[in-house]
Amino acid sequence: MAQASGMDPLVDMEDERPKWDNKLQYLLSCIGFAVGLGNIWRFPYLCQTYGGGAFLIPYFIALVFEGIPLFYIELAIGQRLRRGSIGVWRTISPYLGGLGLGCFSVSFLISLYYNTVLLWVLWFFLNSFQYPLPWSTCPLDLNRTGFVQECQSSGTVSYFWYRQTLNITPDINNTGTIQWKLFLCLVACWATVYLCIIRGIESTGKAIYFTALFPYVVLTIFLVRGLTLPGATEGLTYLFTPNMKFLQNPRVWLDAATQIFFSLSLAFGGHIAFASYNPPRNNCEKDAVTIALVNSMTSVYASITIFSIMGFKATNDYWRCLDRNILSLTNEFDFPELSISRDEYPEVLMYLNATQADRLAQLPLKTCHLEDFLDKSASGPGLAFIVFTEAVLHMPGASVWSVLFFGMLFTLGLSSMFGNMESVITPLFDMGILPRSIPKEGMTAICFTLQSGSYWLEIFDSFAASLNLIIFAFLEVVGVIYVYGMKRNIFPQERRSSTQAGCRSPVYSCPSCPHCGSHQLLWLIYCTSTDRGGRIHIRKVV
């Protein structure tokens, strides 16, 4: 492995490379890219599914040994070599150019379908300005003598989502027609993205102040309101009560590591692109730890907010279940109206079961347990467009809360789109393939606006990124360790090893062993690739 000749990459791009106006713009851009829709509708679901507070243990272990080291590598190589994902890996070795191309391709595909989620959010956001909300009641049938039967059987929110929004077909084989209302929303979303990135980081850096900070304002508003609602305490208790038995399930640890990986947007190339606009001597080690911790704390903060509202929804559903049963008992046994309260219902039910069991058995009574309603979990679009949307209906001033909620989701998605677009555009600009005058909104994917669009999005989401990104991240580790070399230093004046700098492996006395298991390997990357100034040691090789 020979060292390439030529100019230092630090010098040949120092003058013409755009720069952030200030450090805050860069931090907010990385936070906006990392903190996305998954923090709102994926992390709370995992906490609920895997033992509440117990899930936080593997989550933060994965953050320390997987998330921060890999995240630090991406920031460091982007800042040091000042190129996009393709240029960075080609600079380290021409043989790694395919790695950068892979990250670029995945980001391109994700940009296509991620904006489809934004168009759904925009559609709900625009409909939120109506009173009453269009998903609060069923529409009238063709004869206008009653309500649509499908809506009555499925529920108003589910009917609005599947029939009036998606107008979904039975399966993917039936593609259906273009939904023009969704197509117009898709054009509006791409136009918004284009206006924000039209001048690169100069315009993105201005927009990020709003798109990155507005979600925290809305989350705080929802949290304050949610904590005042009945059932909020039950929701939070259910969320964070630890069940340590779940930690024996390997699936819990795998999902925790996966959540960290995708939550930080590792291997997309967006963070490499953002870091490439930094000064080469910026302390990216501190940035990596700060951004990763903010991202994780945002997930926890969002979980508290979401489940305070979910507890309120579960309590309302539980009360309605009791009220229906009480009404059945009142009609069957001729009790005076309002003579049975919710608190007295269990005692009355036990008394009737002991004295008139035959008549009681004939009634269509439902089993009502608050825990059963809290167990009804959902993730992804199901949480945002069905479960949480239904919860908002029970809140006073539902239209206002709906506007805030979907406005927050739109800004969250918009911030993530900035990173996705930088992952695509920056490498093309660096290689001179894409002139800066080319409109970036030309990547609109019309297939997602078909009646079968949700099926296509699910296919893209399942196969376009998940396994590919994990492979790319592994190749990034291999590239840094074996191609670049763990002990090589590009700064001739700073020939200190990581051991001299005081960074030692906590498990093995030899910090250069590359075969110590995945967790040890990540620790070695973190220790041996940095010095006290937070700089990664990379040299140009062929």
Say if residues 197 and 211 touch (Cβ distance below 8 Å). no
Answer yes or no: is 328 a known binding residue: no
How would DSSP label each residue in 305-319? HHHHHHHHHHHHHHH
Say if residues 514 and 521 touch (Cβ distance below 8 Å). yes
How would DSSP label each residue in 280-312? TTS-HHHHHHHHHHHHHHHHHHHHHHHHHHHHH
Closest CA to 138 of 121, 155, 118: 155
Say if residues 16 and 276 touch (Cβ distance below 8 Å). no
Say if residues 314 and 106 touch (Cβ distance below 8 Å). no
Answer yes or no: is 424 a known binding residue: no
What does the H/E/C string look like for 389-437? Answer: HHHHHCCCCHHHHHHHHHHHHHHHHHHHHHHHHHHHHHHHHHCCCCCCC
Answer yes or no: is 341 a known binding residue: no
Answer yes or no: is 412 a known binding residue: yes
Answer yes or no: is 173 a known binding residue: no
Burial code (b: 16+ CB inside 10 Å, e: under 16) for 15-54 equals: eeeeebeeeebbbbbbbbbbbbbbbbbbbbbbbbbbbbeb
- Residue ranges of alpha helices (H) inside 129-231 are 149-154, 156-159, 180-197, 201-227
Answer yes or no: is 416 a known binding residue: yes
Q: How far is CA 401 from the centre of its chain?
A: 21
Torsion, Cα of 514, 517, 519, 525 (10° steps): 10
Answer yes or no: is 289 a known binding residue: no
- The residues, ordered by sequence, that sit 6+ positions from 21 with a Cβ below 8 Å of its Cβ are 202, 205
Question: Mutual orientation of helices 284-333 and 201-227 as an angle, nearest 10°?
Answer: 40
- Which tokens hold the place of 147? 């309500």
- Which tokens hold the place of 7? 């100019």
Answer yes or no: is 32 a known binding residue: yes
Known binding-site positions for Na(+): 32, 34-35, 39, 263, 295, 412, 416
Annotated binding site: 32, 34-35, 39, 263, 295, 412, 416
